[in-house]
Structure 1
């Protein structure tokens, strides 16, 4: 029994979860195949799904067109080159077949839709670069980088850094408070002591201008640093924070002097814990003896405080109860025997008296 094409279409759509663009018979041949094999093919999204026939709802092979590296078209077939294989596709079209204008528009619409879906999103444009950082014909890639002594600090912070750590360097390049300009702060030794000086560096279309008595134009911040180092005969160096220590102080600790360690040792107080006091007993408690007669024994701790009272055992109570019960039975039996005896005596005496009375009457 054949399944309705609409049911087959709905099952394929639920399995693949992709929109259908085209369906029809297609011949496929891989590298391992000797001849072309005929399949019923559907183009869903950017993937070709191959079925045995148009009644099957589960595909047996699929080909992702996004993995195609190159494509070669010939008069008889289409060759798709993948990373690990090569696939040839062939479609038999009658020579007299022509698509209607509506069909051509529909194919073009599907093609544009798939291109828009797979098109990468454009990246936002990068901000414009400053003119003095643009590469010229004779500039190198290192000119784009900031100097190692560049810090995003203000004037007061730069002065504090130079005064607090003079061993790190003498020159700091920092951003200025005016637009895209820069400033240079240096610490220089004078006969009267260390002096702090600040210089302004402005940005122009032709480069960076150092504001001196005679303005000096340089192409980059590296050139600004090099200019000041040359003018000070390299007595000043860039301010660079080192990640390693450079000064080693002699140790004042002598390992041979043990008196220091012994005297400086702290005496840690020890915890004082009282020993556990066990209660003294007059006599050691002995285990109860093994009773051969299976007589109930009263525990020692259950002994009454009054020594005149003797503890009663279960055996004595049972014996006393049995004795009383036996005595009651004996008494009852003896009384019954006595009454029976008396009745017997009375029965024997009654006929003789009657005989005597008869004799007297005669």
Structure 2
């Protein structure tokens, strides 16, 4: 039984050596072509509808590589086309230009044959990139051939995201502890030459089951059950089990991808609605200017006297040769006269003297009458006469 073609997440694919847009078509149907984002990951070409897509739609294995050749003329006005010949068939591609076509041919042939082709004209920087790609592919294939060493090598990146280097008992405990995140994982087998799938499901009680996954001599893997299931890779093994169980089996992935941009949630200044905003990253100079402006707004306006002394200091710093300006002295303040409240004028028709006709009443009349102030000598004489006249009467 063969597993159906499966799709997996881009972050689960092998290392990408080269990528870009290519128009893909069949030799017998040149009119129907698709412009797809193509990634050379491991020894396979993965095709995506768009660059931002996370799931690939088609895969082309380079295991049966025969040759890669140009199609048509190499003239600049002609399309940059080339054909990839595999044991499984031939596929035609069209690159954006001749330089891109030559680079695609070099990467495909180098990865498929694990050697840099000498027939292609390449720049020193391109040759260096090809050397690195060939070395990484050789290391990847070496890691796949020895599954028992996957615990300590970088080949872990080529494994599915639900792969954990744990024993059978540790796998059961891990699924028990992380039951919310998933119920299936991939782990190395006891013999060190194969793998195992461990699942956790609940019926009347918790059930743990283990399935062996062995490697095929001709390539690929087999789920070792009564009706063996053949898959091209361990990623396809996981995807097959998820699809055949309609999502009941969920791969356990404890760590997701990291964010590329920092953001925070804050209320909008205009509407007040809480939204996700990116973290601003202004230059340092502008931040210093903003702080200076804000501090200037908080400080009170200096008085005229303070501005005078500040200007004097600045003038002395900028012009040290000029004589110092003598400080200005404040003019002496003249004491102000104390103003007394006005004396109310007497009412018309009112008598100032009392009924008893006492001297105090007569004295008050003299002080308050404005006419009496002009005739002080005569008033004094009249007062003496009055006092002299009153004395005999008082004695009698």
- Superposition TM-score, scaled by structure 2 size: 0.26
> Bigger radius of gyration, 1 or 2?
1
Greater relative contact order (Cα 8 A, min sep 6): structure 1 or 2?
Answer: 2
TM-score (norm 1): 0.28
